[in-house]
Amino acid sequence: MKPKFLHDCSSCKFLGIYGGYDIYLCDKSIIARHGDEGHEYASGLIDVMMRGFFEDPVAEIVSDLEHNLLWRVAMIAALTQMKVKEIIDENP
């Protein structure tokens, strides 16, 4: 699978496409690209998203539904895809 959109960071690892977004992992951040322009992406720190997810997901989602929901879904999708790839690589 190849990314749909241009992305100029050589440090990022492309994980796949989820919900129309190209999902990347870069150090401790997850990036969801939705266009070719430099500003057409959103990103967040994985540990911050996980902390909020386990502390009080309802309050955070209600306070900023689009941002939190997108990132939680993107993060879960990216981490799931990484785990599936890991399993496939271990069992050729």
Percent of the chain residues past pLDDT 70, beyond the cut: 62
Q: Hey, where are the domains in the chain?
A: 13-90
The per-residue pLDDT of the chain, averaged, comes to 75
What's the rounded Cα separation, in Å, for the pair 47 and 71?
A: 12
Tokens 């386990």 map to which residue?
54
Q: Which residue has the higher pLDDT, 56 or 2?
A: 2
pLDDT in tens, 3-40: 999 999 999 989 888 878 888 888 888 888 999 998 88
What's the rounded Cα separation, in Å, for the pair 74 and 32?
A: 7
Chain Cα centroid distance, residue 71: 6
Does pTM surpass 0.85? Answer: no
Strands (E) in 1-92, as ranges, are 13-18, 21-26, 29-33, 41-45
pLDDT in tens, 58-86: 554 445 555 566 667 777 777 777 776 77
What's the rounded Cα separation, in Å, for the pair 34 and 71?
A: 13
- Structure confidence at residue 61 (pLDDT): 46
